[in-house]
Structure 1
Amino acid sequence: MKVPKLMATQHPDSTVVLMPQDEVEEAIQDVLPLDQGGRGCDEKMVDYEGKATPYNQMRDIIEEVRKYDVVPGEDFLITPRVPNPKLEDKDRHLLAITAAVTANMYSQMYFNTDAIKYIILPMSTSTLELAEVQRRILKVERLVSEEFSLRIEEWIKLIPLFETAESHMHIDEIVEGLRIAFIKEIGMFENEFRIFMGKSDSGIHSGHIASSIGVRMGLLKLWNWQKDTMFKVYPIIGMGKPPLRGHMAEWVIEDWVEAWRGYYTATVQSALRFNTDRKDYVHTITVVTKNSGKQPPLELLGYAKEMVNVAWRASEVYLSRLERLADMISFMAKFVTRTRARLDSYKRRAKTGKEMPRAIRFCASLYSMGLGPTLIGAGVIEELASGTAEKLEHLLKFVPLLPKDFAFDYAFTDLEVFKRYVDEKTFEIIKKDVDVVKEYFANVEPPKSPPEGYFEKLRELRGALDEAEVSRAKAIVMELAEMRGFLG
């Protein structure tokens, strides 16, 4: 199997506003090679999850790319992320699958290839659910084949996207269950799997420490699961530039590829493509590509049980803070400009039960309040250090990027500004988290420091909110994002 290494996505995490009519040209630039002035990705995610993406967008990309010297299905893949029918309208789920299958008719017509070989299902939970979706894809392919002469040489395969720390930490059991469910439910024997793990939603729901442990353990367990079998797994990791969302950023990329060794495919999200200097961007994706498919240090699984306990305790502490911050985060999210056409009807709830903004607006809201998101609940570090002597040491071996994650967010934190957004009790709790990071990681240089004027802008934003100047507040939030190099 030729596995793509760089998946360009449509995440709304950049400061560049792109509407659906812009996304076909964007996709072309994403998949053109670097030496042709493109962005050098070999897979393009067309996103229908909670997003107003036209169903003909995949076909439009296939038709437009005929003007260029690249072949879909050979030089790059188009891989849609379809709505999960448990979370969105079932017709949107079915229409997105149908659009993917029929797009292959045009790919075969123009290029004699299948541009779409995979479909991603977000928020995957049960193996039975995944088998049902795979069966649905096969049924649509058979229908289009019978009615419109689509050639089927290989079935489109499902990529499950898991987005919780719990699923990541049990990923080997889930994949084994998925393999068996495919055989029992649809008679489909698979010996190669692409498994997608997302950091963002896991970060919101469980906090940075627990979600980092989850993804790291997921990579280790997937490699360990396939070690003595005939099966092969090709992990995909979905990460953005902010530390809470994975810290896949140009200023820390050499550390990043080592911290998350074991991936085959990494997402190249909008902020990395549009809020990064060309030279830094090229260096970043070159490093990511070079380190694809390297075996992670499986000996770290010796810490697995201990890390599970650390994750649950860290998540518990984080959620106690999130409960206090949730309403203010939701308020601030109203001032974060949408940079893609998303559906207002699609929302998710946090473990606290409260409705929360999606990950990008969540992060943008906290940075705009003067608080780096990874610092929420970081006070648990002191608890780990005062417990078993090796517990913190083992955590830092397991998640080696953690000190630089904290250092980045500490550098972009202004407690004097943050104090103006929350009650006194909440402030004291969060200040303790920040103080613990300062104490334990004082010698860690931030991988990126705020540019001149950043903190003045934070204070200006608070003033605009006090004066109820909505347009000015939105503009300042975007200016702050440009200074950081990402929206959220």
Structure 2
Amino acid sequence: MSTQHPDNVNPPFFAEEPELGGEDEIREAYYVFSHLGCDEQMWDCEGKEVDNYVVKKLLTKYQAFFRDHVLGEDLRLTLRVPNPTVERAEAKILLETLESIPRSYDTASLFYGMDAAPVFEVILPMTSSSSCLNRIHSYYLDFVKGKERLQLADGVTVKEWIGEFRPDEINVIPLFEDHEGMLNAAKITGEYLDGKDIQEQRVFLARSDPAMNYGMISATLLNRIALSDFRDLEEESGVKLYPIIGMGSAPFRGNLRPDNVEDVTWEYRGAYTFTVQSSFKYDHEPSDVIRGIKKLRSVKPGRAAEIERESVLEIISAYCREYRRQVMDLVDIINRVARYVPGRRKRKLHIGLFGYSRSMGNVSLPRAITFTAALYSLGVPPELLGFNALSSGDLEFIEEVYPGLGRDLHDAARYANPESPFLSPEVKSSFEEYLEPEYDEGHMKTTEEIIRALRINRTANLQELILEAASQRKFLG
């Protein structure tokens, strides 16, 4: 699944400017389908001006390709919609998006000369209850599809006047992004499935936001718990589940790159779909990207591993406390650097809340990609924060559940600057003892320049330096 997450250093060749806009994203969808070999594009309807004519634009602009590749059958376009329970300011965008689905159906059916549903699924972020899912499912059935039964003043029904509203129903994919959501993902999904004639269901687990909120190790372990729970739900319910994992290229956000597809897919056994974000697509040689995507599509999902839930949760609790304490210590410098991290997509301002206990208050931080970029730019890879809270026994246990821990930490630690004033001595000593890292000299030098510029408050070329460091890593954040 190709996504629009802006974690890339290099803009794609077809972009008119470094920040991709709406028409660029139309070109991007065609490019990932036709050249890179992706079979699904997630279309983000959050935080930007919504383009409800994406299907019409794709079919009109790239007719020859889409004649041979049926949108909705050979290729998927999956909409990520706002969650009205959380994002009140964008709540009505959800309704606009749902209303656009029958129009896209009509456009595609006319184009292909047959019934065609180019869009039949939506992703609901920040899912916290089955009610959130049921409301969308019911709204579409009752108010989008259902309006065709309404009768006008002259006795004519909307269906007779306007025509049918199809597809008859849509699939709602829950996206679980926080601690409680992950732990209750299978329960919430089971409640949603109850009473419905659904044979197959996709479910989505976030990887970036949990890492930012609870630390990389917590995020990975929470994903493991959810995958294991989904396996149990599938066996109990008889409904086939198809988990999606939202992976970025930074180790903090998943460590999925064209050159390590086998390692990551094995690590997340039980997942059927992995997101291919912007850095994966645009910060590597196209031939490597195509090979990586081909491998992703050919991998057979394994069976999710068993996991000792209570032991994992104990480790997460201690590690998360220390991780959050260290982030709190760095919050001012993170927010200062974040202002200079370049944007890669034209989006409305979208600030996340980093929640601490009430005694510590609520701290505002940038979104996960910018957060990650800011810390790397300071020589403090966020993967390392909180690591000192883990005992040798904890690490031994984690390595059994999360065999790629050493790989992910090694990939991150090479971009640390051991002389950074923002890297605490306890974190430095703990990961150096565990890893014996080989630091990247070029990246160290660039982070030293960034730190010096911040210290003397000469920030005119700070964005350029941040991009230079990101180029050395091959991801922005």
User: Please, what TM-score do these two structures have when normalized by structure 2?
Assistant: 0.89
One-letter identity of the residue aligned with 2:430: V
Task: Tell me if structure 2 keeps the 8 A contact 1:262–1:292.
Answer: no
Q: 1 CA distance for matches of 2:60 and 2:301?
A: 32
Q: Which residue of 1 aligns with 2:446?
A: 457
Deviations 1:77-111 (A, max 9, x none): 11111111231322222222223342222112112
Deviations 1:381-417 (A, max 9, x none): 23xx2xxx4x43221111111111111111000032x
* Matches for 1:76-475 after TM superposition, within 5 Å: 76-85=75-84, 86-87=86-87, 88-111=89-112, 112=114, 113-138=116-141, 139-143=143-147, 146=159, 148-150=162-164, 152=166, 154-180=168-194, 183=195, 188-297=196-305, 300-301=306-307, 303-344=308-349, 346-352=350-356, 353-382=362-391, 385=392, 389=393, 391-416=394-419, 418-419=420-421, 422=422, 427=423, 430-442=424-436, 450=440, 453-466=442-455, 468-475=457-464
User: How big is the shift at 1:326?
Assistant: 1.6
User: How big is the shift at 1:322?
Assistant: 1.4
Task: Tell me if structure 2 keeps the 8 A contact 1:125–1:162.
Answer: yes
Task: Tell me if structure 1 keeps the 8 A contact 2:40–2:77.
Answer: yes
Q: 1:481 to 1:150 in 2, by over 3 A?
A: farther
Partner SS state of residue 159, structure 1 = strand
Task: Tell me if structure 1 keeps the 8 A contact 2:105–2:167.
Answer: no
Task: Tell me if structure 1 keeps the 8 A contact 2:227–2:243.
Answer: yes
Deviates more, 1:115-124 or 1:280-289: 280-289
CA RMSD of aligned residues (A): 2.0
Task: Tell me if structure 2 keeps the 8 A contact 1:124–1:163.
Answer: yes
Q: 2 CA distance for matches of 1:405 and 1:441?
A: 11
Q: Which residue of 1 aligns with 2:51?
A: 54
Q: Which residue of 2 aligns with 1:35?
A: none
Q: 1 CA distance for matches of 2:134 and 2:258?
A: 38
Task: Tell me if structure 2 keeps the 8 A contact 1:52–1:341.
Answer: no
Deviates more, 1:397-406 or 1:57-66: 57-66
Runs of 4 or more, structure 1, over 6 Å off, are none
Q: 1 CA distance for matches of 2:376 and 2:236?
A: 45
Q: Which residue of 2 aligns with 1:4?
A: none
Structure 1's unaligned 5+ residue stretches are 1-6, 33-37
Q: 2 CA distance for matches of 1:292 and 1:332?
A: 41
Q: Which residue of 2 aligns with 1:482?
A: 471
User: How big is the shift at 1:154?
Assistant: 4.8
Q: 1 CA distance for matches of 2:188 and 2:388?
A: 32
User: How big is the shift at 1:354?
Assistant: 0.9
Q: 1:100 to 1:480 in 2, by over 3 A?
A: farther
Q: 1 CA distance for matches of 2:458 and 2:118?
A: 47
Q: Which residue of 1 aligns with 2:154?
A: none
Task: Tell me if structure 2 keeps the 8 A contact 1:124–1:130.
Answer: yes
Which of residues 13, 20, 23 in structure 2 aligns to 1:21? Answer: 23
Task: Tell me if structure 1 keeps the 8 A contact 2:101–2:120.
Answer: no
Q: 1:22 to 1:153 in 2, by over 3 A?
A: closer
Q: 2 CA distance for matches of 1:173 and 1:395?
A: 25
Q: 1:79 to 1:150 in 2, by over 3 A?
A: farther
One-letter identity of the residue aligned with 2:291: H
User: Please, what TM-score do these two structures have when normalized by structure 1?
Assistant: 0.87
Partner SS state of residue 62, structure 2 = helix
Partner SS state of residue 245, structure 2 = strand
One-letter identity of the residue aligned with 2:166: I
Deviations 1:127-179 (A, max 9, x none): 11211122122222333783642453552111111111332223222211222
Q: 1:463 to 1:101 in 2, by over 3 A?
A: farther
Q: What is the aligned length?
A: 447
User: How big is the shift at 1:469?
Assistant: 4.4
Partner SS state of residue 54, structure 1 = coil
Partner SS state of residue 379, structure 1 = helix
